[in-house]
Amino acid sequence: MKRKPLSPAKDRILHELKTKGPRSAAELAARLGVTREAARQHLAAMEEQGLVTSEPVRGRVGRPERIWTLTDTPEVSARFPDSHAELTVGLLEAAQAAFGTEGLDRLVRERAKRQARDYRRRIPAGASLRERVKALASLRSQEGYLADCSEDGDGFLLVENHCPVCAAARACRGLCRAELDLFRKALGRDARVERTEYLLDGDRRCAYRISPVTEKAPRARATTPGRP
Return the higher-pLDDT residue of 161 and 63. 161
CATH number at 84-212: 3.30.1380
For the domain made up of 8-77, give the CATH fold.
Arc Repressor Mutant, subunit A (1.10.10)
Burial class (CB in 10 A: 0-12, 13-18, 19+), 193: buried
pLDDT range class, residue 125, cuts 50, 70, 90: confident
Mean pLDDT of 96-103: 92
Residue range(s) of every CATH 3.30.1380 domain in the chain: 84-212
User: Tens digits of per-residue pLDDT, 31-50?
Assistant: 999 999 999 999 999 999 99
pLDDT range class, residue 69, cuts 50, 70, 90: very high
Q: Write down the pTM of the prediction.
A: 0.64
Residue range(s) of every CATH 1.10.10.10 domain in the chain: 8-77
Mean pLDDT of 168-181: 91
